[in-house]
Amino acid sequence: MKRSDVVAEFQATMGGLLQTTEHLQALNATLKTRLAGASEQISRLQERLDRVQLDNMIDSVTGVGNRRLLETCLPRMIAKAEQSGEPLSLLLIDLDSFKEFNDRHGHVIGDDILRLAASALKQNSRQDDLVCRYGGDEFVVLLPRTSLEGAVLAGNKVRSAISARELRKRSTNESLGRLSVSIGAAQHKTGELAEALIDRADQWMYLAKEAGRGSAEEPSPAGDAPRQKRSIRSPRLVWQPAYECGEVLIDRQHRQMFDLVNELFPLPVAEDRDRRIMATIDKLMAHIAEHFRYEESVLQARGYAGTEEHRMIHAQLLGEARRLRQSLADGQDVLDDFRLFLCRTTVVEHMLGTDREFFSLFGR
């Protein structure tokens, strides 16, 4: 082959390669443009999906998280706390007398009250705290890296902030008074499920509401918080004249029961802590048994028709108290259950509830 022919063929080959390269470069640029456009579309679509997801987890009235967000985040926060060993606490906040406000002033005012409470919760929470509307007039605040003591401080801060705001009717600027809340606090225990944590906070909130107090917390298992002047209050039972039935000794025994129950709040801090707790419980149980016997004798002497039923209720209460006491003696972690049983079941539900059925015997 002549040299000129070789050169010509080489030039033709190089020209073809150049054209192919230019074509591939153009095709690559086109693909990049299309990929960029597709990526942008996917990004916009994902943003829309994220917004929809977020909208589904935001309460439309208050702008805080809803129950779905709480149920999504709480198990994750529990798992993270157990993995890290850091504390996790929860506040359950109930708006006192919200139904009366709603019924008297209408749903528009009711929604304003919910927004006011939500605003106070957000303004008094840290950046990584999670505020959610749990349902109706209840809110939950999740407090990562927070002990029970810190949760109680946060709860009192929230309670003060809400009660400091005066409610006013927007159309007339009429004062509607101030809002109060009942708060229950609980710190997560190792291995505890989300539902159980919420339930414990709910029980302390219920006790706060029944006792007519602004706030109640679960007593600290450590009990060694530094002493300082503050607004924290243990969930102490406060005797009121309205609790009296009119029979002098029954009323005295009821009041003594309040004092004995309060000895379990807060827990004593001492080397003989467990012994002192058991001694207090034994003294309390002896007092309850003596009181039940006296009360039954008075009701029988007065011819009360419900005496036998009342005696059966007393037997059930004593049986449960003995069961819990034995569990404590066996080393089981049921002190919280015992305290709730004493406060909620024995005092609030029975003494301030069932017992009122015989108050008419004494002119009440």
One pLDDT digit (tens) per residue for the chain, 364 residues: 555 554 455 555 555 555 666 666 666 676 666 656 655 655 555 555 444 455 578 898 999 999 988 998 999 999 999 999 999 999 999 998 888 877 887 888 888 889 989 999 999 999 899 999 998 899 999 999 998 888 888 888 888 888 887 777 776 777 777 888 888 889 999 899 999 999 988 888 887 776 654 444 454 433 333 333 333 344 567 777 778 888 999 999 998 888 888 887 655 444 566 788 888 899 999 999 999 999 999 999 999 999 999 999 999 999 999 999 999 888 887 887 888 788 878 887 888 788 988 988 987 6
Give residue 271's pLDDT: 52
- Which structural domain range is residue 226 located in? 59-235
Number of domains in the chain: 3
- Nearest 5°: CA angle at 217, between 181 and 356? 75
Task: Please state whether the peptide bond connecting residue 241 to the residue before it is cis, i.e. omega within 30 degrees of 0.
Answer: no
Structure token pair of residue 223 = 């009990």
Through-space distance between the first and last CA atoms of the chain, rounded to whole angstroms: 130
Same domain for 175 and 96, yes or no, is yes
Residue 251 appears among annotated catalytic residues: no
Q: Which of 59, 94, 137, 355 is the catalytic position?
A: 137
Domain stops at, among 235, 262, 289: 235
Same domain for 149 and 270, yes or no, is no
The DSSP bridge partners found for residue 178 are 166
CA distances from 357 to 137, 304, 352, 362 (A): 31, 10, 10, 11
Same domain for 191 and 63, yes or no, is yes
Same domain for 140 and 27, yes or no, is no
Give residue 270's pLDDT: 47
Q: Which amino acid is at 240?
A: Q
Same domain for 70 and 218, yes or no, is yes
Q: Rounded to an integer, what distance in angstroms lies between the CA atom of residue 203 and that of residue 274?
A: 24
For position 318, which CATH number holds?
A: 1.20.120.50
Category of 270 on φ-ψ map: left (φ > 0), alpha (ψ -120 to 50) or beta: beta
Burial 48-85 (b: 16+ CB within 10 A, else e): eeeeeeeeebbbeebebbbeebbeebbeebbeebeeee
For position 186, which CATH number holds?
A: 3.30.70.270
Same domain for 212 and 106, yes or no, is yes
Same domain for 110 and 170, yes or no, is yes
